[in-house]
Amino acid sequence: MFTANGYYGLLKSNYLFSDVAKKTAAYSQAHPEAQLIRMGIGDVTQPLVPAVIKALHAAVDDMSRMETFHGYGPDYGYDWLRSAIVSRDYASRGIHLDLDEVILSDGAKCDVGNIQELFSADCVIGVMDPVYPVYVDTNVMSGRAGRFSESKGGYEKIVYLPATSENDFVPSLPSERVDVLYLCYPNNPTGMTLTAAQLKKFVDYALENNVLIIYDSAYEAYITEADKPHSIYEIEGAKKCAIECRSLSKTAGFTGTRCAYTVVPKELTAVDSFGKTVSLHDMWARRAATKFNGVSYITQRGAEAVFTDEGHAQIQDVIAYYMENAHIIRTSLQKAGYTVYGGINAPYIWLKVPGGDSWAFFDELLDRYHVIGTPGAGFGASGEGYFRMTAFATRENTLLAMERITSGR
C-alpha cells in the first residue's frame, strides 16, 4: 500500500512569501486605488545586461544550425563556463579550485535543498535565526526537523543560532551537537555579513567537531567592504569542511533565467552511515549525473557572458544601482527615526520594528504608506521585532516609498 511522506504534514502551514502575497492581494482588492510599492520579495527588477542578451541571442542562433546545435550537455555544466567561474570568482581571490569541483544547476534554492541527500538521516541540523526558510523547510520534508514547537518557536530537532542586534548579528557557536551548519553570508534576511576573523571561528569549529558547513553566498557580489570575505574558501581549512552555493540570480539578474552552481571540494571527505570514508564531491557529482541533465546550453552561454570583462563591468553597474537604493533606504529610514541594519554589503535592510510586532508593522506600512516589506517573524523566532526591506525595486519606487515613510503620508 502506498503511504505518502508524512513529514510534509509537519511543515508550518504557510510559506512566508505566500502569506505576504495573500495579504497584499486582499488589500489590493479592497483598495484598488492604492499604488502599492513592493519591497518584500527579493526579486530583481533590472533587465539582463547587454552582454548577456547578446550571448543568449547568439546561443539561440547556434541551436538553429546543424553544426552548432546542442542536445544534452554535460551533467555538471560546460567546461567553458566552469573554467570562467573558477578563474573570475575564485582564482582572482587567490583560491585554487579544479574545474570539476564546480557543478552547475538551475538554482541555489534547489542546491541548498538537494544537498541534504548527502546527509545521513540522523544528522542534526543547525541554522541561523532568522534564516532563509528553504534550509529549514527542506529538512522538515525529509524528517530531520521533528515537529514545530510553539514554545521553542522552531522545530524540535533543529538547533537555532540567534543573530540579533544583541550579538551584532554574529551568532555564537553551537553549544549542543550539530552535524550540518547552514551559514548564509551576506545574510538574507538581515543584510549583515562576517569579517574573515568571524568566519574563521566557524571554520575552526567545523574542523574541530567534524561539522559540515553549507555556505550560501548568493549575495557575495553585493559586498562593498574590503575586509569581508566573498567565499568561505578564503579561510584556511574551509575546503575540508564546507560546501559553497552560489547563484547568478542576484549577481546578474538571472532569477527568471536560472543558473547557479555549487562547489564541493575534492578534499571534503566524511564517514558515511556504514562507516566508510567517502568523498562528498563524488557523491554530489553522482547525484547530478543521476538526477539532472544539466542547465540549458542557451542559459550557460548567457551565464558565460557574466564572467567576461564586458559582462562583469555591466553587472557591476546594476549592482551599484541596487546598492544606491539600499543607501537611500538606510538613510531615509534613519532620518525617519528607525534603527536599521544591513544594506552595506547586501541588498537587504533589516529594521527594528517600533513596538516589536513585525506582522502588525507589515499591516501598518501597507495600510498607511502602501509599501510592502517582509515581517521578520516569518524568518524565525529571532526575526520577530524586525522587518526586511529590499533594495531591488526601481529607483523611482524606492524614492517614492521612502518619501511616503519619511513624510508620514
* Alpha carbon distance 1, 3 (integer Å): 6
Q: Which is nearer to ligand PLP, 228 or 370 (CB)?
A: 228
Q: How far is the CB of 396 from ligand PLP (least distance, A)?
A: 23
- Identify the burial level of 348 via C-beta atoms within 10 angstroms of its C-beta, where 0-12 means exposed, 13-18 middle and 19 or more buried: buried
Q: Which is nearer to ligand PLP, 188 or 374 (CB)?
A: 188
158, 224, 159, 149: which is closest to 186 by C-alpha?
224
By beta carbon distance, the residue nearest ligand PLP is: 107
3-class DSSP state of 393: coil
3-state secondary structure of 74: coil
Whole-angstrom distance, CA of residue 325 vs CA of residue 13 = 34
Instruction: Note if the bond before 186 is cis, omega within 30 degrees.
Output: yes
CB of 187 vs ligand PLP, minimal distance in Å: 8
222 binds ligand PLP (CB under 6 A): no
Please say whether the beta carbons of 401 and 39 come within 8 A: yes
d(CA 399, CA 409): 14
Distance in Å, CB of 172 to ligand PLP, minimum: 21
Q: Between the CA of residue 382 and those of 119, 163, 288, 349, 389, what are the distances in Å?
A: 26, 7, 35, 16, 17
- The answer to whether residue 188 forms part of the interface with ligand PLP (CB under 6 A) is yes
Distance CA 195, CA 205 (A): 16
> Applying CB under 6 A, does 217 fall inside the site for ligand PLP?
no
Give least dist CB 31 to ligand PLP, A: 28
Q: Which of 16, 218, 243, 391 binds ligand PLP (CB under 6 A)?
A: 218
User: Interface with ligand PLP includes 216 (CB under 6 A)?
Assistant: yes
State the maximum Cα–Cα separation within the chain, in Å, rounded to a whole number.
65
Picking from 20, 44, 51, the residue whose alpha carbon sits closest to that of residue 258 is 44
- Residue 218's SS3 state is coil
Q: According to CB under 6 A, which residues from 333 to 392 bind ligand PLP?
A: none
Provide the minimum distance between the beta carbon of 250 and ligand PLP in the complex, in angstroms, as a whole number.
7
Q: Site size for ligand PLP, by CB under 6 A?
A: 13
- Give min distance, CB of 189 to ligand PLP, in A: 8
Binding-site string for ligand PLP from residue 90 to residue 109, where x marks contact by CB under 6 A and - marks none: -----------------xxx
Q: Please, which residue, 186 or 369, has the CB nearer to ligand PLP?
A: 186
Minimal distance in Å, beta carbon 254 to ligand PLP? Answer: 7
Residues numbered 238-277 forming contacts with ligand PLP, rule: CB under 6 A: 247, 249, 255, 260
**What is the C-alpha to C-alpha distance for residues 328 and 392, in angstroms, rounded to an integer?**
12
Measured from the CB atom, the residue of 262 and 314 that comes closer to ligand PLP is 262
Choosing from 37, 38, 39, 42, the residue that interacts with ligand PLP (CB under 6 A) is: 42
Smallest gap from Cβ 368 to ligand PLP, in A, equals 27
Q: Whose Cβ is closer to ligand PLP: residue 42's or residue 294's?
A: 42
Closer to ligand PLP by Cβ: residue 44 or 405: 44
Distance from C-alpha of 39 to C-alpha of 348, rounded to nearest angstrom: 10
Does the protein bind ligand PLP through residue 194 (CB under 6 A)? no
| Angle between helix 50-62 and 309-335 (nearest 10) | 140
Task: Tell me the pairing of strands 371-372 and 374-375.
Answer: unpaired
Direct distance between the N- and C-terminal alpha carbons of the chain, in angstroms, rounded to an integer:
61
Q: How far is the CB of 392 from ligand PLP (least distance, A)?
A: 10
Of residues 97, 127, 181, 184, which one binds ligand PLP by CB under 6 A? 184
**Closest by CA position to 263, among listed 74, 137, 105, 132:** 105
Nearer to ligand PLP, 108 or 241 (CB): 108
Interface contacts to ligand PLP, rule CB under 6 A: 42, 107-109, 132, 184, 188, 216, 218, 247, 249, 255, 260
